Amino acid sequence: MNHSRLLPLLLALGLTACTPPTPTPTKPHTTYEAPTPQKQQRYQATMIKIASTIKDDKHYRRIALDTPEKKAWFKSLTYRLWDRQITRHQFIAEGLAKYPTHRYEFAFVVKGFSRY
């Protein structure tokens, strides 16, 4: 048998055997804990710190939170990120689903939470 043809075949078989298994989809977590008064106070203090840095960032564009419902949605979303009930990737994905042109702003909030 020709060894020059056997080597690529063995390499190809070896690489296919090393592919990771396809992950099984997990059911999204849909119930979240409400903030306790103590957590609410700490969360609010962190949000004030993050908001105070917005004016120094020339790339940040205000997210239109012009209704009570939108404000409540954003507060809940940021609280869940702060309280580690969702990951930063989930936070950004959920934010972009509602405001697809504000990737920078959602990443800004994530960065702010990691800083404070």
Compute mean pLDDT per 10 residues along the chain, 116 residues long, and list them.
Answer: 57 52 55 90 96 95 97 97 97 98 98 93
**CB neighbours (10 Å) of residue 112?**
19
* DSSP annotation of 53: H
* DSSP annotation of 116: -
**CB neighbours (10 Å) of residue 65?**
14
pLDDT at position 32: 87
Contacts 24+ apart (CB under 8 A), 43-46: 43/78, 43/79, 43/82, 43/83, 46/82, 46/112, 46/113, 46/116
